[in-house]
Amino acid sequence: MKKDAWEKLCSGCGLCCHEKVITENLLLIDTSSACEFYDSESRLCTVYDRRFEKCPRCLKMTLFRAMFADYLPPTCGYVRWARAHHIRLCREKECVLENGILSFVDDSSH
Ligand code: SF4
Ligand code: SF4
């Protein structure tokens, strides 16, 4: 896949730019706690072209991560792509913490 097409798989939800807790069978994303370079209004990275230099925690999206990374939510465009190609391993439950409210992600379509 060409770089442009790969980048377009991102739906821009910004969930991967927030703090997460990962356990054996649960991914918890805290939407009240974002990376310092994340703009919550635009849902964009303010240092996108230099993100790996500015933020050591920032991880490049690769095919391998789309397939296996346990910090990505099921709604992520890369996860959806990997699942559509039957190459995704997933945990039992995934949920999002938003304004103190915990909700499980409905992923019944996959
Ligand atoms: S530096 Fe990385 S983790 Fe931080 S906002 Fe930008 S893309 Fe997201
Ligand atoms: S979780 Fe996936 S779709 Fe959402 S911003 Fe991150 S890479 Fe893009």
Q: Tell me how crowded residue 28 is: count the other CB atoms within 10 A of its CB.
A: 15
Q: What letter does residue 109 receive in the DSSP assignment?
A: T
- Residue-wise pLDDT for 52-69, tens only, equals 999 999 999 998 899 889
What are the residue ranges spanned by the domains of the chain?
Answer: 3-33+60-104
Task: Give the ranges where 12-105 is alpha helix by DSSP (H).
Answer: 51-54, 63-68, 77-84
Q: Which residues line the pocket of ligand 2, CB cutoff 6 A?
A: 10-16, 61, 72-73, 76-78
Amino acid present at 16 = C
Report which bound ligand comes closest to the CA of 38. Answer: 1
- Relative to the CA of 13, which ligand 2 atom is closest? 4
The pTM (predicted TM-score) of the whole model is 0.81
Per-residue pLDDT in tens (0 to 9) along the chain, 110 residues: 788 899 999 999 999 999 999 887 788 999 999 999 999 999 999 999 999 999 999 999 998 899 889 899 888 999 999 888 877 765 555 556 666 666 666 554 44
Identify which of 76, 80, 107 to mutate to test ligand 2's pocket (most ligand atoms within 8 A of the CB): 76
Alpha carbon distance 87, 85 (integer Å): 6
Residue 107 · residue 94 · CB < 8 Å: yes
